[in-house]
Homo-oligomer: A and B are copies of this chain.
Amino acid sequence: MEKVLEYLKKNNKRFIAELCEYVRFPSVSAQPKHRKDLKNCADWLTRHCRQIGLHTRLCPTAGNSILVARTRKPSRTSSKKGKSSKPHYLVYGHYDVQPAEPFDLWDSPPFEPSLRGTALFARGASDNKGQHLAHLNAVEAYLKTGTELPCDLTFVIEGEEEVGSRNLTDFLADHRKDLQCDGVVISDTGLIGPRHPTLTHALRGICALEVKLTGPSRDLHSGIFGGSVGNPAMALCQLLAQLRDKDGRIAIPGFYRDVAPLSAAERKHLARHPFNETAYRKFLGVAQLEGERGYTPIEQRSARPTLEINGLTSGYQGEGSKTIIPSWASAKLTMRLVPNQTPERIAKLVTAHLRKLCPRSVRIEVQEGHGGEPYFVSPDGIRLQAGLRALKTAFGHDPVLMREGGSIPIVNDFKKTLGADTLLLGLALPDDNAHSPNEKFDLGIFAKGMTMSAYLWRELAAIA
């Protein structure tokens, strides 16, 4: 291990230079004009993985190619002979980036890396190029120093994460056998701060619905008809208003039935997270927070289910006024789910309740949107504990366990297709500006991420 750490230290400058090279590719998957840049970026990454000494293949898909790079040559036969005795882990990352617009809000051009203070500013530096490069650097250190890697590793680095990973699910299904593994490691989440290395062990699920109420067959003159006919916009407001009670709880029968209660231990752990309410309010721009009574904001936004209105549309939206009773009104809703809620059951419950509450003066349509399961790994799990030990050793601070309020659909894909749990060891600081102008990646965290990765494989091998 000495040699590995020594190598990482000695080559730090080169690693930064390589990260600079890597972020120069404007690999924006959302914009067709960057198709070529994505290809060039993938080619660069392929060459880089080969130089390290990985068995690397760039696999074409219907969209952008997926890179697969292995520490161990894939066996051609299914005989036991060819099998390794080491545990096998997948490291996932993505080489595509978010659009950089609006360019004028950047202090330096998004695709010309700029070192300021301890951070490298560039689109993709933190999300996600710097983060998976940390893992690749750790592996390089093992390979180049002749130190035996305690695990077999397969890097799966795709080019369509920012546009919904549309070809990854099929790819995983097609390569199910080759990618069979003991677990997945992803560094694509956040850490609370340099003194709070973070392991994310839970993600919320999601359930999207659209509800539309239709009243009269066309917009009506509100003078001539107003008062004698139901107004779909008012009906919608009255319908949605009933979905949330005064305590901030979702007032839908059965909504909380499957919710796994937060353990006293976890609540205690979450209460130790650094959190400044004033700063949080200021960051959001609100005078007062609002949430489910009896839970802290951290719990509310990560460990409790929600129902949010994402959009409202009805009637006239232009300048001034138009005196109509709108023919229809609609709302987009998403529910965030926690273990053990399922999007199917929640969609059913919410739909049934909306239909039940809807007055007869309007017609209701509920359209189901996308759904995603919540994700949860027990904090007691041995792999998770191994991850925590690696974090502690690398950062020199007690790591914290975090639940993420959002969803990362690929984590469910890995679980469903490969049966593997995921360790989410994020290296992005809260102010790294992922998806925003002036994205940056802290180079101190970059170095600690490599060390963490180096320790991680030892820890994970030790429990096998």
Contact = CB atoms under 8 A, between A and B. Distances in A.
Contacts of A204: 223
A317 B313 CA distance: 6
Nearest to A329: B312
Interface stretch (A37-45, A94-102, A301-309): A301-309
Q: How many copies does the complex hold?
A: 2
Nearest to A321: B208
Nearest to A322: B310
A215 B290 CA distance: 11
Contacts of A407: 223
Given A220-B284, A241-B237, A228 B308 contact: no
A265 interface: no
Nearest to A281: B229
A35 interface: no
B284 A216 contact: yes
A449 interface: no
B310 A313 contact: no
Interface in A303-355: 304-306, 308-317, 320-326, 329, 331-332, 334, 336
A150 interface: no
A164 to B, nearest CB: 11
Given A221-B406, A320-B369, A334-B323, A312 B233 contact: yes
A301 B227 contact: yes
Interface stretch (A9-17, A136-144, A358-366): A358-366
Given A286-B361, A300-B227, A336-B223, A311 B306 contact: no
A146 interface: no
14 contacts: A226-B308, A227-B291, A229-B301, A230-B288, A237-B240, A286-B362, A288-B359, A288-B360, A308-B323, A308-B325, A310-B323, A310-B324, A315-B332, A320-B369
B222 A306 contact: yes
Given A312-B314, A323-B406, 20 more contacts: A208-B321, A210-B321, A223-B407, A224-B301, A227-B306, A228-B291, A228-B297, A229-B290, A233-B309, A233-B311, A234-B308, A237-B241, A238-B241, A290-B361, A310-B322, A310-B325, A311-B315, A311-B322, A321-B369, A323-B334
A313 to B, nearest CB: 5
A404 B404 CA distance: 58
A301 B291 CA distance: 41
